[in-house]
Structure 1
């Protein structure tokens, strides 16, 4: 990877790492749906302007269904789930759940495309769940029903990312990536509008400058600029290298939250994160099994 792209990768990790902290600030004020609507709307316009500058065509009518399904699976549902979980669990927990996305992508590849699941990926799935259990069990937050639900919401977000990745691979091959990004964000914003609108009076009455700035950064920087960086990395270095940003996000999220929200970084958090990241690395094929163990289970 070139030095300039390595710099972009690190910058992307720093940007996406802040998103969990920012949701912790915005969601208690605006609620999960309005926070997510603001993020998706601002992100959509930012990506749209960049895509139009690049001369990208969107073909809205032809691609409407694809934009909608990807928008729901990759933005509206997972962003809302994370925004809700931000009310109950620390940033490090959310970032760790986010790291499970490549594992669930492999699962949906098996369920939808019939791709074989190697023993390594099956082991990765089990190890990922174990890492989550370790994180919750010995982390700094008391295990309460709301904490468990917050963790499950974060895992649900990762499940949606996994489905959206496979659907995008199946149905958006002929659509420019920036068009898919902008179109899906617009679709997500439209889908979220009826859920976000009831929270507007509360936001007007009790909104804070910190929450407002958090949503601005979430939309323009963490979604708009971040997507531009990510797709640049994909186009120049390939998806396998671009996705390594997954391994950096839990650390950057934990550091940002520790610096700005006084969220602790404990041995339990570090242990849980390391187990989940090891599982993710296995799922992505970074670690290989010996040849004698490479048999794959049948689908029967």
Structure 2
């Protein structure tokens, strides 16, 4: 990887690492749906301006269904789940759940594309669940129904990412990546509007400058700019290298939350993160078993 792209990768990890902390700031004030709507709307505008600068063709009418399904699976549903999860669990928990996305992508590849699962990926799935159990069981917060719900919501977001990634491979191969990113963000914002609208009066009367700034950064930087950086990384280094940003996000999220929200970094958090990241590495094929044990019938 070139020095420029390495800097881009590290910057992307730092940016996406802040998103969980920012949701912890914005969601209690604006609610999960309005927070997500603001993020998707501002992200869509930022990506649109960049895509227009690159002279990308969107073909809105032809690709409307694809944009909608990807927008729901990759933005509206997972962003909302994480925003709700932010009400109940620390940033490190959410970032760790986010790291499960490649594992669920492999599962959906099996379900939707008929790709054969290796024993390695089955072990990765089991190990990932074990890592989540370790994180919750010996993490810094008490295990309550709300905490369990927050963790399950984060896992649900990872499931959404896995589905969207697989659907994109199936139906968006001929659409420019920036067009897919832009169209899906606009579709997500439109889908979220009816759910976000009831929270607007409360946000007007009780909103804070800090929460508003958090949503603005979530949308413009963590979504718009970050997506543009990510697709540049994919185009120059390939998806397999770009996805390694997954390994850096839990650490950066934990550090940001520790510095700015005073969230503790405990042995339980470190153990859970390491186990989940090991599972993710197995799912991505960075850790391999002998060939004769790789495939199952």
TM-score between both structures, scaled by the size of structure 2: 1.00
| Deviation for aligned residue 1:73 | 0.1
Q: How does 1:230-241 map onto structure 2 within 5 Å?
A: 230-241=230-241
CA displacement at 1:248 relative to structure 2: 0.1
1:245 corresponds to: 245
Q: Distance in 1 between matches of 2:162 and 2:220?
A: 24
SS of aligned partner of 2:244 = helix
**What displacement does 1:221 show?**
0.1
How does 1:25-44 map onto structure 2 within 5 Å? 25-44=25-44
Q: Determine the structure 2 residue equivalent to 1:209.
A: 209
1:129-153 Cα distance to aligned partner (Å, 9 max, x none): 0000000000000000000000000
Offset from partner CA, 1:169-224 (integer Å, 9 cap, x none): 00000100000000000000000000000000110010001000000000000000
Shift of 1:293: 1.8
Deviation per CA, 1:259-290: give whole Å up to 9, x if none.
Answer: 00000000000000000000000000001101
Matching residue of 1:297: 296
Gap runs ≥5 in structure 2:
none
RMSD: 0.4
What TM-score do the two structures reach when normalised by structure 1?
Answer: 0.99
Question: How big is each residue's C-alpha offset from its partner over 1:236-261, in whole Å with a ceiling of 9 and x where there is no partner?
Answer: 00000000000000000000000000
Distance, in Å, in 2 between the alignment partners of 1:271 and 1:152 is 19
Q: Which aligned pairs between 1:149-164 and structure 2 lie closer than 5 A?
A: 149-164=149-164
Offset at 1:292?
Answer: 3.3
Cα distance in 1 for partners of 2:113, 2:168 equals: 12
**What is the correspondence of 1:1-300 to structure 2 with a 5 Å cutoff?**
1-294=1-294, 296-298=295-297
**Where do 4+ consecutive residues of structure 1 move more than 4 Å?**
none
CA distance in 2, matches of 1:267, 1:88: 20
